[in-house]
Amino acid sequence: MSRSIAPILPTQANVELISANEFRGRAEVGSRVPAIVRECRHGTMAFLPGDKYIGRSLGLYGEFSEIEGQLFSRLLRPDDVVIEGGANIGAHTVHLAKLVGPRGKVLAYEPQRAIFRLLRANLALNKLSNVRALRAAVGRRAGWLPVPVVDYAAKGNFGGVSLRNARSGHPVRVIALDSLRLSAVRLLKLDVEGMEIAALRGARRLISRHRPLLYVENDRPENSRTLVGLIARFGYQMWWHLPPLFNPRNYAGNRANVFGRIVSANLLCAPRETAETIEQFLALPGPAVSLHRCD
Domains, the chain, ordered by start: 22-285 (3.40.50.150)
Give the angle subtended at the CA of 91 by the CAs of 88 and 95, to the nearest 5°.
130
The pTM for the full model equals: 0.87
Query: If you average pLDDT over every residue of the chain, what do you get?
Result: 85
Q: What average pLDDT score do residues 159-183 get? A: 84
Q: Is pLDDT of 138 > 70?
A: yes
Categorize the per-residue pLDDT at 26 as very low, low, confident or very high, splitting at 50, 70 and 90: very low
CB atoms within 10 A of CB 209: 14
Query: How far is it, in rounded angstroms, from Cα 267 to Cα 269?
Result: 6
Query: How far is it, in rounded angstroms, from Cα 122 to Cα 219?
Result: 27
Q: What average pLDDT score do residues 46-58 get? A: 94
Q: What average pLDDT score do residues 211-240 get? A: 94
